[in-house]
Amino acid sequence: MLGAFVLVAGAGVWVALPGEAADSLLSRGKSALASSIEAKTTTADRVIDGNPATRWASKEGVDPQWIRVDLGGESTVHRVKLTWEPGYAKEYRLEVSSDGTTFTTLKTFTNQDGGTDDITGLEAHGRYVRVVGTKRATEYGYSLFEFEVYGTSDAVGDTKKPSVPRGLSSSAVTATSAELSWTASTDKVGVFGYDILRDGVHIASTTTPSYTDAGLTSEKSYGYRIRARDLADNVSGESSALTVKTIAGGAGMFVLAAAGDIAQQCLESEPACIHPKTAKVVEFIKPDNVLTMGDSQYDDAHLSDYNSYYAKTWGKFKDITKPVPGNHDTYAEPAYNGYDTYFGPAIAKPDGKRYYSWEKGNWHFIALDSTDYMPDDSKPGAAPRNDQLSWLKADLAKNTKGCVAAYFHHPRWSSGDHGDNEDSEQFWRILTGAKVDLVLNGHDHHYERFNPMNGAGDPDPNGTVEILGGMGGAVPYDLSPGHPATAKLLSTYGVVKLTMTDNDFTSQLIGLNNTVEDSSPTYTCRPKR
């Protein structure tokens, strides 16, 4: 238990009485995440940069909204200071969490008047501190200049190394990946994470005692060791070595990288900018082709935006990209101009239209333009474009490949902010009726992998797998409870890695640190006749 604390006049900091640990500003320069942002100049990281002139702002007119600060490790929190812009919260609550998922309410505030809220006398413990605005003071959004958290890190004064990880083993090996696990280390305060070393080189870190190394070559041996790291950055010795040999690749094997909702109007120099990070994940995957499931560029997707942002990150893979457009590509005038001009006719319209098909190995791929087809996101009040439905039926009828995948922007099924989309019903019914093996979508900004489903969206082991991968860089949306067929639901960033052979496919979600956040079973392609 810490002793009494005193505010030093004119200094704006809290110090402990003699003999006690001093409180410090824990949030400065750490990381922040928000439920939404108003613009590229009002991202979440502005509240922890120490600059009183910069701010975070949420999207306008929507309750509730939240902003979260990650302190980097477990800490005791005594004070939170919020400096509001005129778009303040009339009502809000202050929360804390150890895992970033389950939050405990510390205090609830009503009838607030903005300005500066200096909340003292707290005795909270956790890694994440969150402000949840429940009632706006204005018609606009919520807006904070600074979000300051004061207290003591659990790692203060810790010099003891964690124990050496033991029991390193591999439970599953494929042609391109090795699944590793080990016995968790122990530490005086707490293990923060583990470093994975492949052939003596640090390749990734993880917070759990398991890791799947996904960027491998078939029929090759790799040597692994693990070391533990605690909250004070004390590092253990290395584990015993493990040698793993990948198996031979399946006939016709190739790898794809896929995501939608990618490039916000931000640059790599900005800490909260994500699309440069997901582009590095694509580099790690080393795909044969890249699929984009719409909204490759935000906000209105002008050609200038594509050239200023997307081109500098995901644009590195332009020559191997097979894109489809999203609703944001229609916001500029004329609609689709940025998309069409940036990608050029050979990529944007290989068959003269923005929907097309292509083939690789024993796979037939169908790229659909759901924005042009659907009336709500392209031409309000217009009827669905049945010409695309006719083309889709004809394309499926003449297919001779044993495996089929389709991708388009608007998902039929989703546990995200937009939810299930009935306007995609005809696409889904036609694709499932033709025994298409895989459907990829974006639009909602999260990751969701579904177990195989039938045309009604019910679980069916002989059905079609849907993967929603709208986590390429756009700000995450809130999630609802998963569907009965949902296998994995995550609010995170990353890239879907697809490993295809002549007869089957597997998928993995590769996170920003090149860690495997989700792995699917191996799905065998179904007979099409």
Note the pLDDT of residue 177: 83
Last residue of a domain, one of 246, 263, 291: 246
CATH number for the domain spanning 378: value is 3.60.21.10
Same domain for 404 and 259? yes
Note the pLDDT of residue 189: 75
Note the pLDDT of residue 312: 97
Q: Tens digit of pLDDT for each residue in 268-290?
A: 998 889 999 999 999 999 999 99
Q: Tens digit of pLDDT for each residue in 179-221?
A: 999 999 998 777 889 999 999 999 888 888 999 887 788 889 9
Residue 9 is assigned to a structural domain of this protein: no
The residues near 458 (Cβ < 8 Å, ≥ 6 apart) are 484, 485
Same domain for 409 and 266? yes
pLDDT score of 163 more than 50 = yes
Residue 55 contacts residue 85 (beta carbons within 8 Å): yes
Residue 263 is assigned to a structural domain of this protein: yes
Note the pLDDT of residue 21: 52
Least confident of 9-18, 114-123, 207-216: 9-18
pLDDT score of 502 more than 80 = yes
3-state class (DSSP) for residue 392: helix
- CA gap 35, 475 in Å, rounded: 7
- CA gap 80, 307 in Å, rounded: 41
pLDDT confidence bin for 174, thresholds 50/70/90: confident
Same domain for 282 and 387? yes
Residue 112 is assigned to a structural domain of this protein: yes
Note the pLDDT of residue 202: 93
pLDDT score of 375 more than 80 = no
Number of domains in the chain: 3
Q: For residue 393, what are the domain limits?
A: 254-524
CATH number for the domain spanning 240: value is 2.60.40.10
Q: Tens digit of pLDDT for each residue in 317-348?
A: 999 999 999 999 999 889 999 999 999 999 99
What's the whole-number average pLDDT of the chain? Answer: 90
Same domain for 419 and 494? yes
Q: Tens digit of pLDDT for each residue in 435-450?
A: 999 999 999 999 999 9
- CA gap 303, 337 in Å, rounded: 7
Residue 329 contacts residue 335 (beta carbons within 8 Å): yes
Q: 447-465: string of b/e by CB count within 10 Å (b at 16+)? A: bbbbbbbbbebeeeeebbb
Residue 18 is assigned to a structural domain of this protein: no
CATH number for the domain spanning 35: value is 2.60.120.260
Q: 399-422: string of b/e by CB count within 10 Å (b at 16+)? A: bebbbbbbbbbbbbbbbbbeeebe
Same domain for 270 and 411? yes
pLDDT confidence bin for 376, thresholds 50/70/90: low
CB hemisphere CA count around 494 (13 angstroms): 25
Asked whether the bond before 334 is cis by omega within 30 degrees of 0, the reply is yes
Residue 3 is assigned to a structural domain of this protein: no
Average pLDDT on 149-174 reads 88
Same domain for 403 and 381? yes
- Token digits for 246? 């990948």
Residue 80 is assigned to a structural domain of this protein: yes
Q: N- to C-terminal Cα distance for the chain?
A: 71
Q: Tens digit of pLDDT for each residue in 447-475?
A: 999 999 999 999 999 999 999 999 999 99
- CA gap 39, 55 in Å, rounded: 11
Same domain for 195 and 105? no
Angle between helices 425-433 and 386-398 (to 10 degrees): 10
In the block, tokens 């999260």 appear at 446
Give phi and psi for 373, each to the nearest 5. -75, -40
Last residue of a domain, one of 153, 178, 201: 153
pLDDT confidence bin for 384, thresholds 50/70/90: low
Average pLDDT on 35-40 reads 87
pLDDT score of 157 more than 90 = no
pTM, whole model, 2 decimals? 0.67
- Tell which residue, 223, 147, 159, 222, has the closest CA to residue 189: 159
pLDDT score of 377 more than 60 = no
Residue 79 contacts residue 151 (beta carbons within 8 Å): yes
pLDDT confidence bin for 2, thresholds 50/70/90: very low
Same domain for 183 and 283? no
Last residue of a domain, one of 107, 124, 153: 153
Q: Tens digit of pLDDT for each residue in 213-247?
A: 877 888 899 999 999 998 777 899 999 999 999 88
CB hemisphere CA count around 406 (13 angstroms): 30
Higher pLDDT, 309 or 386: 309
Same domain for 269 and 371? yes
Same domain for 31 and 146? yes
Average pLDDT on 111-129 reads 95
Give phi and psi for 284, each to the nearest 5. -65, -40
Residue 315 is assigned to a structural domain of this protein: yes
Same domain for 125 and 203? no
Average pLDDT on 483-511 reads 95
Residue 5 is assigned to a structural domain of this protein: no
Note the pLDDT of residue 172: 82
- CA gap 435, 527 in Å, rounded: 8
CA 44 to chain centre: 16
The residues near 483 (Cβ < 8 Å, ≥ 6 apart) are 413, 415, 450, 457
Strand pairing report for 438-441 and 403-407: parallel
Least confident of 20-29, 407-416, 448-457, 506-515: 20-29
3-state class (DSSP) for residue 453: strand
Same domain for 240 and 259? no
Asked whether the bond before 64 is cis by omega within 30 degrees of 0, the reply is yes
